Structure 1
């Protein structure tokens, strides 16, 4: 889902011990003896604003969905430029063809009518037809929504679409090209998340408060058919259909709902048996069996409708999400990040096939966040992190079962907050894999920021709750003790979005949005001071009227600086608990980095410098058009006079001086 600009990573810089406001304006030609981590003021040789292009920030081929046509699997990617449909030939075990999808940042939705593949994109929501005989790719319809979450084809050749943020359902007629708006599946709900259709009825799974709606195709009349004992769940998140049954994944207690279509009162609710399972990500009905995949374990299950027997068939890849299950020729195919697993029903064996090795095209993806430890730059994306070795210029990929949303480097180790499940991972450069350190739990989903408190040896990580849930959390991980403490709520009925730590106090910037799909309760983003020793909020204030969230926070010489979603930069005296000054730095907020005696920020299109003495704002570089997935990021180079960000989808190094520029 579309997310606002957010802070993901910061390498804090140790400041000069003198009072900032007692310092004279530094001379541009002076060779100062004042130093900060990785930066000797006056010794930076490249002019500020010099750009070095380091190539694509992160390469990926993450698939969003797939369909079978004959012996070929058609897989559509998400978050790439451009996105493609890759054709995996099951007989030859090779990816043989690619079709480009010109618009949209990705695709979750696919369906087939005969030999035609339909693909639904997001941002924008366009519907494409891929003629698999001629190879023609045609945009056949466009919709005024953010996401096409899923598609279904009816037996008589209509396509049905489920959307967010509107929660609408629509029909597309390939014969006439006409579309029909069937309205919101459930009033007040933003997500028509899963969908199926037969000769008479459209079935729609809804969230972020679970509903199952049957829509009469002829009249458009709607009726609720979710079993009463599932009221209060989050999503009917996935759906498969046969001539007789529906099989659906119910979030967030790891339940499978199997329902007879002709008699919705005849249903079975099956709890996934692996401890801690929360989600059923996909299912397929094959005869009398329902095969389904769970998270966070990554387990693969079989449920027999007649006997009621549930089996765990294995774990193709621990904790990995399975995007789609398909049945063909006595085998079940499971689509994951850059791979497909194959379960042979006759032998009970499972094979894991790497699609990259079989020719699935990779392309630059939208980066999510980035970090430099001085020797490497880490760029996170879907299913892992691209690692750029600054010494050799070589790149490698660290696989992860999710999307790192926040990273920090501490004593040669990289710590990552991973979506979904709000997981904390640790990674030692050069290791083959990362280590799962902790699970936040508490209905939390998205890490929003992470910083390190050196005085206490603590990682401080705020998180946003799952869709439909209230109250974000603040997680504090003691690295030496390997102990996680979670505090929820911290700021009542808000998410903690950004954080900086100074002298044992974590300063927290809030976001009015709790879990997505839940209407905000609070009216004003706030700044709170959280005592890390006492583990309580000391005070809070609202720094900027009208702010929806505080995109980032930093500290310098006893002052707290932040930037809001609407581009207002502010300075706070935490002793007097007052906002001292504000300045408009742009129209949007993004990451902030303290470098030397200056503060740098970005809105994705430009990198600017703020003089903390005068609050003068100077543009360092412009015209970047950074293709971030969920907001503009900026990372410090702790070993030199530079910052890292992206231009379009390329990683760039920007030379900076660390000295404020002053007009007088």
Structure 2
């Protein structure tokens, strides 16, 4: 756990940026609308009390790490601006950093052969914003130089050839191989190896050939499987060099060139591969399968390749014997790892928890360096979810859950691998849906332990999207999507017996289920826009049998984003401003409206003190029980949500919690108001 108090340096930095520090509750500004200084409060009724609880979650989360000589260059994730830091292994200090406004995150870093420039590809595909940059390493405090934009691609992979030519690619239909020529400063699309791929995932380059890995990442059931091609730089032709054993894997995940060997890692929810290909004769190769869902963060050293097989599961593949074994060090929890390095006879793993682990493979011991303490910037991340209960409010981000004490204001960062896509407080525990492929997790405050897995879900259903509590049946309900194959499952967990029952695609093949709520022993599922049947289908399901009892078409042609039940009505919000109210007794829609003016693209709902409240990135509002009209209570939120899905939660006293920008706020509405 990482604790924050008002006197540590990261919080001092936040204070300079005009954000409230963590600390005692008395130091937080509990203010009425009339006293708030920002324009958002101007429309807030005087009776509504808004308290700013400070930054939701602060951690230097990473999404890339690249070694050049004795320095690891680490790219930040979901902070603004985006940072790339230079972590010097011998000194254990951050010796340089650069920033990119609106960069979002980077998975793609690579240095030119001279070590003068570090090239950076960003994931922000918003129109008009550059996606390729370079950092002058001779001037380690200089800003990154924008080089241009490559179509609408979110850059996922980048490599610099020995002659200095830069090749990159990422998420876009098909997935172009792109080139940046430092001499002409031109960005050029070189072609597509497989039109049905969802984008480039891995690239490596020599003087004559670019090796291009792609496949199905977040593409559902209609995209290609793994693609591995050699691009001839002289002729401009792609040639497949994919080993037959890899043909059913979802995607190529990483590529590494070591001499005449191309080391290949794949990702696949039912087991992945490591392959070694002779680049002089690609028909000559060796392959080994392992049971992990991925093969990423690869570091080749001698005849070993170190990699991450899933969160908190590092492994070693002996390339001479093609055997895979676990890399286990007592007391070391790595979580997600986005890159590894080798220096000073140790393996260095960059954890998404915000530290670098220094692993002595002979002694099987490890030490760690916290990146913020070493000089990395401390900034609030985009939030995944907000959940309140048991005296705390929890704000989840990548690899961290900030636990805010509602009594003292103390903030403690809990560690949990991956991403807490949604959570619910019930039965004196926090129940969390953990992406990717980690299933249902639980946390009980006061026991001195970090969150831990309560029950797995089938590995193919890797993306939990919504978690709720069935009070009648005393069950935790979770819906989880298969990124690769499409369609969602319904997981029903019984805490009393520690049993998880899973219903495979209860709404049909390919049908996603982004929302769920339970009431009087019935689970109400909100459908997505994939698979057969109407988009946004609303279905009542018996959670003890998985049987669909009835369903409705909301006739909005968009996915459900939030649901709530109050009295005899089911309230449903859908993408792009759809709002429906269902009479549960009549099983019919009794109210339809477009709430996009206040609801934005996505909205979520919660019940508190006998009223239904909603939140979007724009506003927090209340829904009238009789007319179903919206009454805005707090406007201009500009909530900084990862993926754009807002969250709202209520504690036992009916107080509401959500985000304003990247800060956690509490909203108190009088019962009689």
Q: Same fold (TM over 0.5)?
A: yes
Match for residue 71 of structure 1? 70
TM-score (norm 1): 0.87
Match for residue 568 of structure 1? 578
Give secondary structure in 2 for the equivalent of 1:357. helix
| Bigger relative contact order, structure 1 or 2 (CA pairs below 8 A, ≥6 apart) | 1
**Residue 296 (structure 1) shift:** 4.5
Q: Which aligned pairs between 1:104-183 and structure 2 lie closer than 5 A?
A: 104-113=103-112, 114-124=115-125, 126-135=131-140, 136=142, 137-166=144-173, 167-183=175-191
Compared CA separation, residues 641 and 291, structure 1 to 2 (3 A): closer
Q: Per-residue CA shift, 1:578-621, capped at 9, x if unaligned?
A: 11111111142321112234321122111122112112122222
For 1:270 and 1:545, the matched residues in 2 are separated by: 48
Match for residue 463 of structure 1? 480
Aligned pair partner of 1:187 in 165, 183, 195: 195
Match for residue 606 of structure 1? 619
Give secondary structure in 1 for the equivalent of 2:131. strand
Match for residue 259 of structure 1? 277
Preserved contact between residue 590 and residue 633 of structure 1 (Cα < 8 Å):
yes
For 2:179 and 2:591, the matched residues in 1 are separated by: 53
Aligned pair partner of 2:461 in 422, 428, 444: 444
Match for residue 271 of structure 1? 289
Query: Structure 1: where are the runs of 5+ without partners?
Result: 1-44, 514-519
Give secondary structure in 1 for the equivalent of 2:245. helix
**Residue 444 (structure 1) shift:** 0.7
**Residue 474 (structure 1) shift:** 0.3
Give secondary structure in 2 for the equivalent of 1:356. helix
Preserved contact between residue 107 and residue 155 of structure 2 (Cα < 8 Å):
yes
Answer yes or no: is 1:638 the counterpart of 2:645.
Answer: no
Q: Per-residue CA shift, 1:191-246, capped at 9, x if unaligned?
A: 21111111111111112121112112233211211112221210101121122111
**Residue 656 (structure 1) shift:** 2.2
Preserved contact between residue 340 and residue 354 of structure 1 (Cα < 8 Å):
yes
Compared CA separation, residues 616 and 348, structure 1 to 2 (3 A): closer
Answer yes or no: is 1:414 the counterpart of 2:430.
Answer: yes
Preserved contact between residue 596 and residue 659 of structure 1 (Cα < 8 Å):
no
RMSD: 2.2
Match for residue 522 of structure 2? 505
Preserved contact between residue 613 and residue 623 of structure 2 (Cα < 8 Å):
yes
Preserved contact between residue 448 and residue 462 of structure 1 (Cα < 8 Å):
yes
Preserved contact between residue 408 and residue 415 of structure 1 (Cα < 8 Å):
yes
For 1:283 and 1:81, the matched residues in 2 are separated by: 28
Query: Structure 2: where are the runs of 5+ without partners?
Result: 1-43, 217-224
Q: Which aligned pairs between 1:306-385 and structure 2 lie closer than 5 A?
A: 307-315=321-329, 317-318=332-333, 320-337=335-352, 338-344=354-360, 350-373=366-389, 375-385=391-401
Q: How many residue pairs were aligned?
A: 604
Answer yes or no: is 1:292 the counterpart of 2:281.
Answer: no
**Residue 441 (structure 1) shift:** 1.4
Preserved contact between residue 145 and residue 163 of structure 1 (Cα < 8 Å):
no
**Residue 108 (structure 1) shift:** 1.0
TM-score (norm 2): 0.86
**Residue 163 (structure 1) shift:** 1.3
